[in-house]
Amino acid sequence: MAEKDVMICRCEEVTYQELIDTASKYNCSARELKLRTRASMGYCGGRTCRGLVDKVALELEGRNKKQIALKYQPPVRPIHFGDLGRVEE
């Protein structure tokens, strides 16, 4: 698999190449990159891809790391997968 085909955001199915292309085309900040691609806006709330979206924006923008801070928003109340499939009798 080529580097460009690597899936960065599994929830929204955003590849590394999509992030690079979008950031280059629109000269995006990390927040704008997130909004344009929906990376880190899926079910996990960015837990798996937020750091990579930050990294892509940082590399292409050449900004200070302190300027890039995507909001991390965990679910309102975490639940266990076992609770989802439990049948109440």
Rounded Cα distance between 36 and 1, Å, is 25
* 13-36: b (≥16 Cβ within 10 Å) or e: ebbbebbbebbeeeebbbeebbeb
Band of pLDDT at residue 63, cut at 50, 70 and 90: low
The mean pLDDT value for 7-15 works out to: 91
| Residue 58 pLDDT grade (very low, low, confident, very high; cuts 50, 70, 90) | confident
Distance of alpha carbon 6 from alpha carbon 16, whole angstroms: 6
Task: Domains for the chain: give ranges and CATH numbers.
Answer: 3-85 (1.10.10.1100)
The verdict on pTM exceeding 0.85 is no
Whether 71 has a pLDDT exceeding 90, the answer reads no
pLDDT confidence bin for 1, thresholds 50/70/90: low
